Protein backbone atom coordinates (compact mmCIF):
# COMPACT_ATOMS: atom_id res chain seq x y z
CA UNK A 1 0.00 0.00 0.00
CA UNK A 2 2.79 2.41 1.04
CA UNK A 3 6.21 1.44 -0.28
CA UNK A 4 9.36 3.28 0.76
CA UNK A 5 12.37 2.18 -1.24
CA UNK A 6 16.06 3.11 -0.77
CA UNK A 7 15.20 6.36 1.00
CA UNK A 8 18.14 8.73 1.35
CA UNK A 9 18.00 12.05 3.17
CA UNK A 10 20.85 14.26 4.32
CA UNK A 11 20.81 17.64 6.05
CA UNK A 12 23.61 20.25 5.73
CA UNK A 13 25.23 18.32 2.89
CA UNK A 14 28.95 18.94 2.28
CA UNK A 15 29.39 20.89 5.51
CA UNK A 16 31.00 20.04 8.83
CA UNK A 17 27.47 19.58 10.17
CA UNK A 18 26.39 17.06 7.54
CA UNK A 19 23.80 14.67 8.95
CA UNK A 20 22.70 11.62 6.99
CA UNK A 21 19.32 10.75 8.52
CA UNK A 22 18.37 7.92 6.16
CA UNK A 23 20.70 5.86 3.99
CA UNK A 24 18.77 3.42 1.75
CA UNK A 25 15.88 2.91 4.16
CA UNK A 26 13.19 0.58 2.79
CA UNK A 27 9.82 -0.04 4.42
CA UNK A 28 6.58 -1.63 3.23
CA UNK A 29 3.31 -0.65 4.89
CA UNK A 30 0.36 -2.90 4.15
CA UNK A 31 -3.16 -1.58 3.66
CA UNK A 32 -4.87 -1.34 7.05
CA UNK A 33 -1.64 -1.45 9.07
CA UNK A 34 -1.66 0.57 12.29
CA UNK A 35 2.04 1.04 13.00
CA UNK A 36 3.42 2.62 16.15
CA UNK A 37 6.91 4.05 15.68
CA UNK A 38 9.34 4.47 18.55
CA UNK A 39 13.04 5.20 18.67
CA UNK A 40 15.89 7.11 20.16
CA UNK A 41 16.22 10.86 20.01
CA UNK A 42 17.28 11.80 16.46
CA UNK A 43 16.34 8.38 15.07
CA UNK A 44 14.43 9.98 12.18
CA UNK A 45 10.86 9.36 13.34
CA UNK A 46 9.39 12.78 12.55
CA UNK A 47 11.65 13.18 9.52
CA UNK A 48 10.14 9.99 8.10
CA UNK A 49 6.63 11.43 8.43
CA UNK A 50 7.83 14.70 6.90
CA UNK A 51 9.18 12.85 3.87
CA UNK A 52 6.03 10.77 3.40
CA UNK A 53 3.78 13.83 3.68
CA UNK A 54 5.85 15.99 1.31
CA UNK A 55 6.84 18.46 4.04
CA UNK A 56 10.44 17.55 3.22
CA UNK A 57 11.75 16.40 -0.14
CA UNK A 58 13.85 13.24 -0.23
CA UNK A 59 17.30 13.30 -1.85
CA UNK A 60 16.92 9.92 -3.54
CA UNK A 61 14.80 6.81 -3.38
CA UNK A 62 11.04 6.61 -3.79
CA UNK A 63 7.77 6.75 -1.87
CA UNK A 64 4.90 4.92 -3.58
CA UNK A 65 1.29 5.06 -2.42
CA UNK A 66 -0.39 2.24 -4.30
CA UNK A 67 0.41 3.00 -7.94
CA UNK A 68 1.12 6.68 -7.26
CA UNK A 69 4.68 7.92 -6.99
CA UNK A 70 4.46 10.69 -4.39
CA UNK A 71 8.22 11.09 -3.96
CA UNK A 72 8.41 14.56 -5.49
CA UNK A 73 4.93 15.88 -4.75
CA UNK A 74 4.70 19.07 -2.68
CA UNK A 75 2.91 18.89 0.64
CA UNK A 76 -0.31 20.55 -0.53
CA UNK A 77 -0.79 17.86 -3.19
CA UNK A 78 -0.04 15.05 -0.74
CA UNK A 79 -2.84 16.28 1.52
CA UNK A 80 -5.33 14.87 -1.00
CA UNK A 81 -4.56 11.36 0.22
CA UNK A 82 -2.44 11.81 3.37
CA UNK A 83 -3.82 13.22 6.62
CA UNK A 84 -1.63 14.38 9.47
CA UNK A 85 -2.10 15.39 13.10
CA UNK A 86 0.79 17.18 14.79
CA UNK A 87 2.13 17.27 18.33
CA UNK A 88 1.15 20.92 18.73
CA UNK A 89 -2.63 21.22 19.26
CA UNK A 90 -2.54 24.69 17.68
CA UNK A 91 -1.65 23.18 14.29
CA UNK A 92 -4.22 21.74 11.95
CA UNK A 93 -6.99 24.15 12.91
CA UNK A 94 -7.61 27.87 12.47
CA UNK A 95 -7.91 29.57 15.89
CA UNK A 96 -9.80 32.65 14.67
CA UNK A 97 -12.51 30.58 12.98
CA UNK A 98 -15.36 28.79 14.71
CA UNK A 99 -15.64 25.03 15.03
CA UNK A 100 -18.33 25.13 12.35
CA UNK A 101 -16.16 27.13 9.98
CA UNK A 102 -13.16 24.85 10.57
CA UNK A 103 -15.22 21.73 9.90
CA UNK A 104 -16.76 23.31 6.79
CA UNK A 105 -13.28 23.98 5.43
CA UNK A 106 -12.25 20.39 6.15
CA UNK A 107 -15.45 19.07 4.57
CA UNK A 108 -14.78 21.06 1.39
CA UNK A 109 -11.13 20.04 1.18
CA UNK A 110 -10.25 19.22 -2.40
CA UNK A 111 -13.50 20.66 -3.73
CA UNK A 112 -13.83 23.77 -5.85
CA UNK A 113 -15.47 26.64 -4.05
CA UNK A 114 -15.33 30.42 -3.87
CA UNK A 115 -15.43 32.88 -1.02
CA UNK A 116 -19.21 32.78 -1.09
CA UNK A 117 -19.43 29.12 -0.11
CA UNK A 118 -19.54 30.13 3.59
CA UNK A 119 -21.14 27.41 5.72
CA UNK A 120 -23.73 25.05 4.33
CA UNK A 121 -26.15 24.65 7.21
CA UNK A 122 -27.31 21.34 5.76
CA UNK A 123 -24.05 19.87 7.07
CA UNK A 124 -24.60 20.94 10.68
CA UNK A 125 -26.40 17.73 11.77
CA UNK A 126 -23.56 15.68 10.27
CA UNK A 127 -20.93 17.80 12.03
CA UNK A 128 -22.79 17.51 15.33
CA UNK A 129 -22.97 13.75 14.93
CA UNK A 130 -19.20 13.54 14.42
CA UNK A 131 -18.49 15.82 17.37
CA UNK A 132 -20.86 14.03 19.72
CA UNK A 133 -18.73 10.89 19.39
CA UNK A 134 -15.87 12.78 21.04
CA UNK A 135 -17.90 13.13 24.26
CA UNK A 136 -16.36 16.54 24.85
CA UNK A 137 -19.46 18.66 24.38
CA UNK A 138 -18.14 20.27 21.20
CA UNK A 139 -21.39 19.59 19.35
CA UNK A 140 -22.89 22.38 21.48
CA UNK A 141 -20.06 24.82 20.71
CA UNK A 142 -20.23 25.05 16.92
CA UNK A 143 -20.05 28.85 17.00
CA UNK A 144 -17.12 28.97 19.45
CA UNK A 145 -13.75 30.12 18.12
CA UNK A 146 -11.31 27.21 18.07
CA UNK A 147 -8.66 29.34 19.77
CA UNK A 148 -10.81 29.32 22.92
CA UNK A 149 -10.81 25.52 23.20
CA UNK A 150 -8.55 23.50 25.48
CA UNK A 151 -5.59 21.66 23.99
CA UNK A 152 -7.39 18.32 24.21
CA UNK A 153 -10.56 19.65 22.60
CA UNK A 154 -8.54 21.19 19.80
CA UNK A 155 -6.56 18.03 19.19
CA UNK A 156 -9.75 15.96 19.10
CA UNK A 157 -11.21 18.40 16.58
CA UNK A 158 -8.03 18.19 14.49
CA UNK A 159 -8.34 14.41 14.30
CA UNK A 160 -11.99 14.59 13.24
CA UNK A 161 -11.19 17.22 10.60
CA UNK A 162 -8.28 15.18 9.28
CA UNK A 163 -10.27 11.99 8.75
CA UNK A 164 -13.26 13.83 7.25
CA UNK A 165 -11.33 13.85 3.98
CA UNK A 166 -11.04 10.04 4.04
CA UNK A 167 -7.23 9.96 3.72
CA UNK A 168 -5.56 6.80 2.47
CA UNK A 169 -2.84 7.22 5.12
CA UNK A 170 -3.03 8.90 8.53
CA UNK A 171 0.18 10.23 10.10
CA UNK A 172 0.19 10.95 13.83
CA UNK A 173 3.29 12.79 15.04
CA UNK A 174 3.34 12.47 18.84
CA UNK A 175 -0.17 13.90 18.80
CA UNK A 176 -0.70 13.43 22.56
CA UNK A 177 2.71 14.56 23.80
CA UNK A 178 1.60 18.11 24.67
CA UNK A 179 -1.49 17.00 26.61
CA UNK A 180 -2.00 16.14 30.26
CA UNK A 181 -2.20 12.37 31.04
CA UNK A 182 -6.00 12.22 31.37
CA UNK A 183 -6.60 14.12 28.14
CA UNK A 184 -3.88 12.11 26.41
CA UNK A 185 -5.63 8.87 27.33
CA UNK A 186 -8.92 10.16 25.91
CA UNK A 187 -7.28 11.22 22.64
CA UNK A 188 -5.64 7.78 22.37
CA UNK A 189 -9.02 6.10 22.89
CA UNK A 190 -10.50 8.35 20.23
CA UNK A 191 -7.63 7.61 17.86
CA UNK A 192 -8.08 3.88 18.26
CA UNK A 193 -11.84 4.13 17.70
CA UNK A 194 -11.51 6.22 14.54
CA UNK A 195 -8.72 4.16 12.98
CA UNK A 196 -10.61 0.92 13.66
CA UNK A 197 -13.95 2.26 12.44
CA UNK A 198 -12.53 3.67 9.20
CA UNK A 199 -9.77 1.06 8.66
CA UNK A 200 -7.26 3.83 7.92
CA UNK A 201 -3.65 2.85 7.31
CA UNK A 202 -1.89 4.68 10.15
CA UNK A 203 1.67 5.51 11.24
CA UNK A 204 1.92 6.90 14.77
CA UNK A 205 5.13 8.27 16.26
CA UNK A 206 5.17 8.11 20.05
CA UNK A 207 7.51 8.20 23.04
CA UNK A 208 4.93 6.47 25.20
CA UNK A 209 5.81 2.78 25.26
CA UNK A 210 2.43 1.80 26.68
CA UNK A 211 0.73 3.42 23.70
CA UNK A 212 3.26 1.86 21.32
CA UNK A 213 2.62 -1.63 22.69
CA UNK A 214 -1.14 -1.46 23.17
CA UNK A 215 -2.15 0.26 19.94
CA UNK A 216 -2.05 -1.12 16.44
CA UNK A 217 -0.97 -4.37 14.86
CA UNK A 218 2.67 -3.50 14.23
CA UNK A 219 5.55 -1.77 16.02
CA UNK A 220 8.71 -0.38 14.46
CA UNK A 221 11.78 0.80 16.35
CA UNK A 222 14.12 3.24 14.61
CA UNK A 223 17.67 4.11 15.58
CA UNK A 224 19.97 6.39 13.57
CA UNK A 225 17.70 6.07 10.53
CA UNK A 226 17.55 2.28 10.54
CA UNK A 227 14.75 -0.12 11.43
CA UNK A 228 16.19 -2.24 14.24
CA UNK A 229 12.90 -3.89 15.20
CA UNK A 230 9.76 -4.63 13.17
CA UNK A 231 7.24 -6.73 15.06
CA UNK A 232 3.58 -7.41 14.35
CA UNK A 233 0.36 -9.24 15.19
CA UNK A 234 0.63 -12.10 17.70
CA UNK A 235 4.27 -11.42 18.52
CA UNK A 236 3.48 -7.74 19.18
CA UNK A 237 0.65 -8.69 21.53
CA UNK A 238 3.20 -10.48 23.70
CA UNK A 239 5.38 -7.39 24.09
CA UNK A 240 6.07 -5.67 27.40
CA UNK A 241 8.00 -2.50 28.18
CA UNK A 242 10.69 -4.61 29.82
CA UNK A 243 11.10 -6.71 26.66
CA UNK A 244 11.35 -3.59 24.49
CA UNK A 245 13.96 -1.95 26.71
CA UNK A 246 15.95 -5.18 26.86
CA UNK A 247 15.90 -5.45 23.08
CA UNK A 248 17.06 -1.85 22.78
CA UNK A 249 19.89 -2.39 25.26
CA UNK A 250 21.02 -5.55 23.47
CA UNK A 251 21.03 -3.96 20.01
CA UNK A 252 22.15 -0.38 20.62
CA UNK A 253 25.56 0.27 22.11
CA UNK A 254 25.64 4.07 21.93
CA UNK A 255 23.62 6.71 23.78
CA UNK A 256 22.19 3.95 25.95
CA UNK A 257 21.69 5.88 29.15
CA UNK A 258 19.98 8.91 27.56
CA UNK A 259 17.83 6.76 25.29
CA UNK A 260 16.63 4.54 28.10
CA UNK A 261 15.64 7.67 30.02
CA UNK A 262 13.84 8.94 26.94
CA UNK A 263 11.80 5.75 26.53
CA UNK A 264 10.86 5.30 30.20
Where are the chain's structural domains? 2-263
* pLDDT of res. 255: 55
Q: What is the 3-state secondary structure (H, E, C) of the chain?
A: CEEEEEEEEEECCCCCCCEEEEEEEEEEECCCCEEEEEECCCCCHHHHHHHHHCCCCCCEEEEEECCEECCCCCHHHHCCCEEEECCCCCCCCCCCCEHHHHHHHHHCCCCCCCHHHCCCHHHHHHHHHHHHCCCCCHHHCCCCEHHHCCHHHHHHHHHHHHHHCCCCEEEEECCCCCCCHHHHHHHHHHHHHHHHHHCCEEEEECCCHHHHHHCCCEEEEEECCEEEEEEEHHHHHCCCHHHHHHHHHHHCCCCHHHHHHHHC
Q: Is 196 exposed, middle or buried (0-12, 13-18, 19+ CB in 10 A)?
A: exposed
Rounded to whole angstroms, how far apart are CA atoms 42 and 188? 24
* pLDDT of res. 257: 46
Q: Are 25 and 59 in contact (CB under 8 A)?
A: no
Rounded to whole angstroms, how far apart are CA atoms 187 and 174? 11
Q: What is the CA radius of gyration of the chain?
A: 19
* pLDDT of res. 262: 54
Q: Hey, what CATH topology would domain 2-263 get?
A: Rossmann fold (3.40.50)
Rounded to whole angstroms, how far apart are CA atoms 102 and 184? 22
The partner residues of 84 in beta bridges, in order of sequence, read 171
Look at the pTM and tell me if it is higher than 0.85. yes
* pLDDT of res. 89: 83
Q: Show pLDDT as tens, one digit a residue, over the chain (264 residues).
A: 899 999 999 999 889 999 999 999 999 999 999 999 999 888 999 999 999 999 999 999 999 999 999 998 999 899 989 999 998 888 889 999 999 999 998 888 766 655 555 678 899 999 999 999 888 899 999 999 999 999 999 999 999 999 998 899 999 999 998 888 888 898 999 999 999 999 999 999 999 999 999 999 999 999 999 999 999 999 999 999 998 888 888 777 665 545 554 554
Amino acid sequence: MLQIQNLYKVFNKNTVNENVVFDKLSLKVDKGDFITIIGSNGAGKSTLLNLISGTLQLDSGSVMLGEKDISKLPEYKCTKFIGRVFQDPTKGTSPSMTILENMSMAYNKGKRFGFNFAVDKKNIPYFKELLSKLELGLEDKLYTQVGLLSGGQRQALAIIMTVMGNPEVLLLDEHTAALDPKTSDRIIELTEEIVKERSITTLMVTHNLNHAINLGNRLIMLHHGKVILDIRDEEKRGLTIEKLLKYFENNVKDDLLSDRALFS
